[in-house]
């Protein structure tokens, strides 16, 4: 494969994220000039998980870049559900906080479903509230989860049509797999959702025109599992001492894929940029 062909197949997540951030920065300026409003995001982290801390830090850096005001709330791992709900309640009522992001995962004694429901649906930057999820299911997309939204944005950006395509999603989480499936169905794709209990995964992946992998299993997808020309989004992250790895065996799969997101530098930065877009939406743009 020529170098040109190799690089043209790699989706540049950082570049696209910058483009989305530019749009958000303009929106923030407009909102400030027209209504005197500065969008505000409150992030909540319960406990000190290093990976979660890093993700929250990256979200704050993105806020800084686009002009969103960010508040950082850190609760100890032992905080009770009542402590968390009381904080969420005060942020729900704070008119300077337009969006709330509760970093997942939560400690085992706190129900993520109850926590997501506690955040008022209009401040739900993650799109995890049952009201927003329900709207997504009936084809009325408003605040939707950031990673699936980012995937759709990439497809639009690269002029990949979705209608009638065979889409295979690996992973059926509430954060990625399920909302992703709904977004593709809303665009008239034929969608298969596979997961850890799926028998003969390869049978599904070989039929995929578009493949979204969010399993968290290093190099789960090998070159012999995909067809020529497939478009692949690698949402998986496995951290090891010597690096960060995706769910796709990148160096071999790139020879067959027409487009593929790298790890790192693919879906990750786009997800954060979409979060910035959602904060702006919450603030009224
Ligand atoms: N943890 C892993 N992914 C996410 C996400 O998209 N949003 C939140 N809030 N927590 C996460």
CA 7 / ligand 1 centre spacing (Å): 29
Q: Which are the catalytic amino acids? A: 59, 103, 126
Residue nearest to atom 8 of ligand 1 (CA): 103
Mean pLDDT by 10 residues, the chain (285 residues): 90 98 98 97 97 97 98 98 98 98 98 98 98 98 98 98 98 98 99 98 98 98 98 97 96 97 98 98 92
Q: Residue 164's domain spans which residues?
A: 145-268
Which atom of ligand 1 is the closest one to the Cα of 104?
Answer: 10
Q: Is residue 11 part of a domain?
A: no
Domains contained in the chain, number: 2
Q: Are 245 and 260 in contact (CB under 8 A)?
A: no
Give, for ligand 1, the residue of 53, 150, 175, 236 to mutate: max count of ligand atoms closer than 8 Å to Cβ: 175
Which atom of ligand 1 is the closest one to the Cα of 176?
Answer: 6
Q: Is residue 185 part of a domain?
A: yes
Asked whether residue 102 falls in the same domain as residue 183, the answer is no
Q: Is residue 130 part of a domain?
A: no
Q: How far apart are CA 156 and CA 115, in angstroms?
A: 33
Closest CA to 84 of 107, 57, 59, 50: 107
Give, for ligand 1, the residue of 84, 119, 126, 270 to mutate: max count of ligand atoms closer than 8 Å to Cβ: 126
Q: Is residue 261 part of a domain?
A: yes
Q: How far apart are CA 242 and CA 50, in angstroms?
A: 17
What is the reported pLDDT for 75?
A: 98
Please, which residues have CB within 8 angstroms of residue 74's CB and are 6 or more apart in sequence? 44, 45, 48
Q: How far apart are CA 226 and CA 203, in angstroms?
A: 10
Backbone angles phi, psi at 72, to 5 degrees: -120, 120
CATH code of the domain covering residue 221: 3.40.50.720
Asked whether residue 149 falls in the same domain as residue 114, the answer is no
Residues with beta carbon inside 6 Å of ligand 1? 101-104, 126, 146-147, 175
For the whole prediction, is pTM greater than 0.95? yes
Which atom of ligand 1 is the closest one to the Cα of 147?
Answer: 6
CA 229 / ligand 1 centre spacing (Å): 30
The residue with tokens 């930065």 is: 269
């Amino acid at each position: 494969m020529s170098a040109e062909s190799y690089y043209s197949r790699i989706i540049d997540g950082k570049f696209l994220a910058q483009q989305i951030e530019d749009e958000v920065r303009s929106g923030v300026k407009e909102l400030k000039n027209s209504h005197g409003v500065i969008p505000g995001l409150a992030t909540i982290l319960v406990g000190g998980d290093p990976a979660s801390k890093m993700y929250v830090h990256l979200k704050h850096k993105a806020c800084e870049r686009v002009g969103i005001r960010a508040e950082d709330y850190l609760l100890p791992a032992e905080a009770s559900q009542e402590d968390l709900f009381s904080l969420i309640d005060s942020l729900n009522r704070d008119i300077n906080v337009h969006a709330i992001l509760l970093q997942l995962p939560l400690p085992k004694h706190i129900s993520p479903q109850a926590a997501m429901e506690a955040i008022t649906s209009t401040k739900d930057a993650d799109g995890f509230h049952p009201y927003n999820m329900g709207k997504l299911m009936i084809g009325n997309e408003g605040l939707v989860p950031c990673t699936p939204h980012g995937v759709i944005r990439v497809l639009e950006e690269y002029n990949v049509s979705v209608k009638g395509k065979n889409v295979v999603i690996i992973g059926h989480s509430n954060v990625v797999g399920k909302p992703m499936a709904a977004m593709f169905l809303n665009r008239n794709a034929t969608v298969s959702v596979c997961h850890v209990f799926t028998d003969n995964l390869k049978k599904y992946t070989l039929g995929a025109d578009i493949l979204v992998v969010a399993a968290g299993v290093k190099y789960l997808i090998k070159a012999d599992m995909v067809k020529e020309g497939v478009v692949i989004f690698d949402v998986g992250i496995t951290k090891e001492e010597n690096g960060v790895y995706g769910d796709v065996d990148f160096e071999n799969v790139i020879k067959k894929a027409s487009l593929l997101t790298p790890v790192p530098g693919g879906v990750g930065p786009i997800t954060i940029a979409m979060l910035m877009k959602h904060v702006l939406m919450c603030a009224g743009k």
